[in-house]
Chain A
Amino acid sequence: MTEETIKLTIDNQEVEAEAGQTILDAAKTLGIEIPTLCYHPAVPSAGACRICVVEITAGARGALVPACAYPVQEGLGIQSNSERVRQSRKMTLQLLLARSPGAKIIREMAKEYGCEELRLERKDDDCIMCGLCVRVCQQIIGTAAVCFAGRGPDREVSTPYKLLSDVCIGCGACAFVCPTEAIDPAEFCSNPLEKIANEFNCGLDNRTPVHIPFPQAVPNKPVIDRENCIRFQTGGCGACQSVCPAEAIDYDMEDKTVQEDVGAIIVATGYKLFDTEVFEEYGYGRYPDVVTSLEFERMVSASGPTDGQLYRPSDGKEPKTIVFLQCIGSRREKGGVPYCSKICCMYTAKHTILYKHKVHDGQAFVFYMDVRSGGKNYEQFVRRVLTEKMATYLRGRVSKVFPRNGQLVVRGADTLSGGQVEITADMVVLAPAIQPSPGVQDLAQKLRIGYDQHGFLLEAHPKLRPVETNTAGVFLAGACHSPQDIPDCVAQASAAASKALGLVSHKQLTREPTIGVVNELSCNGCFECENVCAYGAIEHKELRDREGDLTATLAHINEGLCQGCGACAVTCRSKSIEVQGYRDDQMFAAINAISR
Chain B
Amino acid sequence: MTVATRLANAGDLASLRQKILAGRKSTKIAISVCAGTGCRAQGSMELFEEFQRELQEQNLTDVEVRATGCHGFCEQGPLVVIFPRKIFYRGVKVKDVPRIVEKTIRNNEVVDSLLFKDPATKKKCLLENEVPFYAKQQRIVFRNNGKIDPTQIDDYIAADGYAALAKVLTKMSAEQVIEQVSQAGLRGRGGGGFPTGRKWDICRAQPGDEKYVICNGDEGDPGAFMDRSIMEGDPNSVLEGMTIGAYAIGASRAYIYVRAEYPLAVTNLSIALEQSRSLGLLGENILGSDFSFDVEIVRGAGAFVCGEETALIASVQGDIGSPQQRPPYPAQAGLWGKPTNINNVETWANVPVIIDKGSKWFAGMGTEHSKGTKVFSLVGKVLNTGLVEVPMGTTLREIVYDIGGGIPKKRKFKAVQTGGPSGGCIPESLLDLPVDFEKLTEAGGMMGSGGLIVMDERTCMVDVAKYFLAFLVDESCGKCSPCREGVMQMHSILCRIVQGEGREGDIELLEQLAAYVKESSLCQLGGTAPNPVLSTLRHFRNEYEAHIKDKKCPAGVCTALVEFEVDEELCKGCGLCMRDCPTEAVIGEKKQPHKIDVELCIKCGVCYEDCPFDAVIAK
Q: CA of A69 to CA of B523 in the docked complex: distance in angstroms?
A: 13
Question: Is A396 part of the contact surface with B, judged by Cβ < 8 Å?
Answer: no
In the complex, are the beta carbons of B325 and A46 less than 8 A apart?
yes
Question: Is A478 part of the contact surface with B, judged by Cβ < 8 Å?
Answer: no
Nearest chain A CB to B526 CB, angstrom units: 9
Chain B 465-487, CB within 8 Å of chain A: the 1/0 string?
00000000111111111101111
Look across to chain B and name the residue whose beta carbon is closest to the beta carbon of A119: B509
Instruction: Tell me which residues across on chain A come within 8 A of B475, comparing CB atoms.
Output: 151-152
In the complex, are the beta carbons of B327 and A148 less than 8 A apart?
no
Instruction: Tell me which residues across on chain B come within 8 A of A175, comparing CB atoms.
Output: none
| B-facing residues in A42-81 (Cβ within 8 Å) | 45-51, 53, 63-66, 69-71
Q: CA of A70 to CA of B326 in the docked complex: distance in angstroms?
A: 7
Look across to chain B and name the residue whose beta carbon is closest to the beta carbon of A131: B479
Question: Is A96 part of the contact surface with B, judged by Cβ < 8 Å?
Answer: yes
In the complex, are the beta carbons of B325 and A129 less than 8 A apart?
no
Given contacts A64-B519, A121-B489, contact A129 B481 (CB under 8 A): yes
Question: Is B488 part of the contact surface with A, judged by Cβ < 8 Å?
Answer: yes
In the complex, are the beta carbons of A92 and B520 less than 8 A apart?
yes
Instruction: Tell me which residues across on chain B come within 8 A of A53, comparing CB atoms.
Output: 520
Question: Is A462 part of the contact surface with B, judged by Cβ < 8 Å?
Answer: no
Question: Is A196 part of the contact surface with B, judged by Cβ < 8 Å?
Answer: no
Question: Is A154 part of the contact surface with B, judged by Cβ < 8 Å?
Answer: yes
Q: Among B473, B516, B520, B522, point to the contact of A152 (Cβ < 8 A).
A: B473
Nearest chain B CB to A81 CB, angstrom units: 15
| B-facing residues in A32-49 (Cβ within 8 Å) | 45-49
Look across to chain A and name the residue whose beta carbon is closest to the beta carbon of B519: A64
Q: Among A66, A95, A154, point to the contact of B478 (Cβ < 8 A).
A: A154
Instruction: Tell me which residues across on chain B come within 8 A of A131, comparing CB atoms.
Output: 479
Q: CA of A53 to CA of B520 in the docked complex: distance in angstroms?
A: 8
Nearest chain B CB to A124 CB, angstrom units: 14
Instruction: Tell me which residues across on chain A come within 8 A of B484, comparing CB atoms.
Output: 129, 152-153, 155
Interface centre among B303, B305, B474, B480 (most CB of A within 10 A): B480
Nearest chain B CB to A135 CB, angstrom units: 11
In the complex, are the beta carbons of B480 and A87 less than 8 A apart?
no
Given contacts A121-B492, A151-B303, A152-B488, contact A70 B325 (CB under 8 A): yes
Instruction: Tell me which residues across on chain A come within 8 A of B478, comparing CB atoms.
Output: 129, 148, 150-155
Question: Is B202 part of the contact surface with A, judged by Cβ < 8 Å?
Answer: no
In the complex, are the beta carbons of B320 and A50 less than 8 A apart?
no
Question: Is A346 part of the contact surface with B, judged by Cβ < 8 Å?
Answer: no
Q: CA of A46 to CA of B476 in the docked complex: distance in angstroms?
A: 16
Q: CA of A147 to CA of B325 in the docked complex: distance in angstroms?
A: 19
| B-facing residues in A89-143 (Cβ within 8 Å) | 91-92, 95-96, 98-99, 119-121, 128-129, 131
In the complex, are the beta carbons of B477 and A47 less than 8 A apart?
no
In the complex, are the beta carbons of A88 and B492 less than 8 A apart?
no
Q: CA of A84 to CA of B513 in the docked complex: distance in angstroms?
A: 13
In the complex, are the beta carbons of A152 and B325 less than 8 A apart?
no
In the complex, are the beta carbons of A88 and B480 less than 8 A apart?
no
Look across to chain A and name the residue whose beta carbon is closest to the beta carbon of B483: A152
Q: Among A50, A71, A119, A120, point to the contact of B520 (Cβ < 8 A).
A: A50
In the complex, are the beta carbons of A91 and B512 less than 8 A apart?
yes
In the complex, are the beta carbons of B480 and A91 less than 8 A apart?
no
Chain B 503-529, CB within 8 Å of chain A: the 1/0 string?
000000100110010011110000000
In the complex, are the beta carbons of B479 and A48 less than 8 A apart?
yes
Instruction: Tell me which residues across on chain B come within 8 A of A45, comparing CB atoms.
Output: 325
Instruction: Tell me which residues across on chain A come within 8 A of B474, comparing CB atoms.
Output: 151-152
In the complex, are the beta carbons of B327 and A95 less than 8 A apart?
no
Given contacts A46-B325, A129-B478, A152-B477, contact A88 B519 (CB under 8 A): yes
In the complex, are the beta carbons of A88 and B489 less than 8 A apart?
no
Given contacts A91-B520, A150-B478, A152-B475, contact A70 B485 (CB under 8 A): no
Nearest chain A CB to B11 CB, angstrom units: 47
Instruction: Tell me which residues across on chain A come within 8 A of B512, comparing CB atoms.
Output: 91
Instruction: Tell me which residues across on chain A come within 8 A of B520, comparing CB atoms.
Output: 50, 53, 64, 88, 91-92
Nearest chain B CB to A118 CB, angstrom units: 11
> 6 A-B pairs, CB-CB below 8 angstroms?
A46-B479, A63-B519, A88-B516, A148-B320, A151-B305, A152-B477
Known: A88-B519, A152-B474. 19 other contacts (CB 8 A): A47-B325, A47-B480, A48-B479, A69-B325, A71-B328, A87-B516, A92-B516, A92-B520, A95-B482, A95-B489, A96-B485, A120-B489, A128-B481, A129-B479, A151-B303, A152-B477, A152-B478, A153-B476, A153-B485
- Interface residues, chain B, with chain A CB atoms under 8 Å away: 303, 305, 320, 322, 325, 327-328, 473-482, 484-489, 492, 509, 512-513, 516, 519-522
Which 10 A/B pairs are nearest by Cβ-Cβ distance?
A: A155-B478, A47-B325, A95-B485, A152-B476, A69-B325, A91-B516, A153-B488, A88-B520, A121-B492, A120-B489
